[in-house]
Structure 1
Amino acid sequence: MRLVVIMIIALLAFAKANSQQTTATTTETVMLDKHPAIVVVDDFFKAFHLQDTTAMRTKFIAEPSVLSIANRANKQLIVYSSIENLLDGIAAIPETVDFEERLTSNEIISDDGIATVHTDYEFYINGDLSHSGRNSFTLVLFDDKWVISQIMDTRIY
């Protein structure tokens, strides 16, 4: 008899649990090219290729973090930089140098006003592959628009 009562209670508890509505979370892994965070990254690279540092600057918070991890001949080098150094470096590329960062894939993870965009890339100088790696952009939703708070990239030579 005791076993029957336990079985009935367990069955009722199971039925009750399954009848509850689930609450959706805002966490999502987005593989679409139209997520607002990827649009900001795409706009950043359009400005990058035009060397339009004024347009690039508008994609960032006031003091973003910029970090590069380079791997060359089995040696790793970590370089911390400022947004000003990044923009100055891009502006200093001579017009005679043709450069292109080709994004080969992207992954977006977004949750409650923060998003990360990971992009694999290949970097070409004058048509020749210079290096490849992965970018990681952290974006925050600020004043109803996505802005970049951090860029981290790896560089494999």
Structure 2
Amino acid sequence: MKKLLLIGLFLISQGAWSQKNTDTEDIKILIEDFFEAFHAQDSTALKEFAHPEIKMQSVAIDAQGNTNLSTEDYSGFLKSIASIPKSTKFREELTDFKINTNGMIANASTPYRFFLNDELSHCGVNTFQLMKSEGKWKIIYLVDTRSKLGCK
């Protein structure tokens, strides 16, 4: 009887250790995987992270100090990533994560620094809007800021 009790307690404790990730953890993993695929120029994987109706925009300050908003089609983004020459090195380094969830929607903010051929090109913040459908998080909106000022 003691052996059965010990085995039962062992199985219960194992179940407690193997709990599923929280939504916040799942979103962080999704974003990290997104950037892993981005750096690998894997447009097939990048497509999997996004909802088919994803919207993408960028906010940047031009040489005259004007703030501009640009919109890009996700399929255009995928083509541009896949077409980067292999001789060009690029890396987006995320410096933090702030994730808020509310049921089936979430927001994630990731400050970043972007390096092109090992030189700091610009910095900014990515903001991801996500939705949970059929138990999986998908990116539905991605907007980033881009600046050459204040990058550390």
Report TM bin, short chain. 0.7 to 0.9
Structure of higher CA gyration radius: 1
Equivalenced residues, count: 126
**CA–CA separation in structure 2 for the residues paired with 1:124 and 1:61:** 27
Which residue of structure 1 lines up, in the alignment, with residue 36 of structure 2? Answer: 46
Contiguous gaps of at least 5 residues in structure 2:
1-21
Partner SS state of residue 63, structure 1: strand
1:78-102 per-residue CA deviation (whole Å, 9 max, x = no partner) reads 1111110111111111101000000
**CA–CA separation in structure 2 for the residues paired with 1:92 and 1:100:** 15
Matched, 1:111 2:102: yes
1 or 2 for the larger relative contact order (CA 8 Å, sep ≥6)?
1
1:32-87 per-residue CA deviation (whole Å, 9 max, x = no partner) reads 9x611111111100000000000000001111010001113322221111110111
Partner SS state of residue 105, structure 1: coil
- Structure 1 segments of 4+ aligned residues over 4 angstroms from their partners: none
- Report the identity percentage: 34
Which residue of structure 2 lines up, in the alignment, with residue 9 of structure 1? Answer: none
| 1:135 maps to which of 123, 126, 131 | 126
Please report the TM-score for the alignment, with normalisation by the length of structure 1. Answer: 0.77
Please report the TM-score for the alignment, with normalisation by the length of structure 2. Answer: 0.79
Contiguous gaps of at least 5 residues in structure 1:
1-31
**CA–CA separation in structure 2 for the residues paired with 1:142 and 1:37:** 13
Which residue of structure 1 lines up, in the alignment, with residue 8 of structure 2? Answer: none
**Which has a greater percent of strand?**
1
Pairwise CA RMSD: 1.5
Which residue of structure 2 lines up, in the alignment, with residue 122 of structure 1? Answer: 113
